[in-house]
């Protein structure tokens, strides 16, 4: 009888001495539903294992996009940062040039002003020398009445 064979299989099943094929045979026996009364108590066990095997994962699978987006994002970030630094550099270079020009201009202006002053000073000393001449002359006149 089939149930005698199954009963023996179940006994060795609990000793973990059955093969996978034999265990499938036991599950199949319970699945068919014509279970001998003395074996019915084991039914829930094999039913549960069969049911449990039916469950499937319905969550999402990893997609390449997430990682790809990150790598493109990092490339974009590097480009952005580089561009920013480059422009900043150019800007400060321009500013430096401008400052240099301004300094040069200021220097030239100052030089001009100083030269003007100097030439005027020279002219001043000339005049002073002239004045001195005049003083000598006046003294001559005063001392020789």
Q: Which residues bind another protein (CB under 8 A)?
A: 13-17, 20, 23-24, 41-45, 47-49, 51-53, 55-64, 67
Q: Are 47 and 76 in contact (CB under 8 A)?
A: no
Q: Are 9 and 26 in contact (CB under 8 A)?
A: yes
Instruction: Compare residues 3 and 13 and give the one whose CB is closer to another protein.
Output: 13
Instruction: Compare residues 7 and 23 and give the one whose CB is closer to another protein.
Output: 23
To the nearest whole angstrom, how small is the minimum distance from the Cβ of residue 63 to another protein? 8
What's the CA gap between 68 and 76, in Å, rounded?
Answer: 12
> Count of alpha carbons within 13 Å of 134, Cβ hemisphere only?
6
Q: Are 30 and 47 in contact (CB under 8 A)?
A: yes
Instruction: Compare residues 3 and 43 and give the one whose CB is closer to another protein.
Output: 43
Instruction: Compare residues 44 and 80 and give the one whose CB is closer to another protein.
Output: 44
To the nearest whole angstrom, how small is the minimum distance from the Cβ of residue 31 to another protein? 12
Instruction: Compare residues 19 and 110 and give the one whose CB is closer to another protein.
Output: 19
To the nearest whole angstrom, how small is the minimum distance from the Cβ of residue 44 to another protein? 4
To the nearest whole angstrom, how small is the minimum distance from the Cβ of residue 3 to another protein? 18
DSSP 62-129: P-HHHHHHHHHHHHHHHHHHHHHHHHHHHHHHHHHHHHHHHHHHHHHHHHHHHHHHHHHHHHHHHHHH
To the nearest whole angstrom, how small is the minimum distance from the Cβ of residue 75 to another protein? 19
């Amino acid at each position: 009888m089939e149930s005698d064979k199954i009963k023996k299989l179940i006994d060795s099943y609990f000793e973990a001495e059955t093969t996978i094929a034999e265990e499938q045979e036991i599950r199949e026996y319970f699945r068919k539903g014509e279970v001998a009364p003395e074996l019915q108590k084991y039914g829930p066990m094999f039913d549960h294992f069969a049911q449990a095997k039916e469950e499937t994962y319905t969550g999402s699978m990893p997609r390449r996009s997430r990682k790809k987006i990150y790598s493109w994002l990092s490339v974009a970030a590097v480009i952005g940062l580089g561009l920013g630094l480059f422009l900043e550099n150019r800007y400060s270079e321009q500013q430096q040039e401008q400052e240099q020009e301004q300094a040069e201009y200021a220097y030239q202006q100052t030089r001009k002003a100083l030269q003007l002053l100097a030439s005027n000073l020279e002219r001043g000393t000339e005049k002073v020398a002239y004045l001195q001449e005049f003083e000598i002359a006046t003294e001559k006149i005063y001392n020789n009445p």
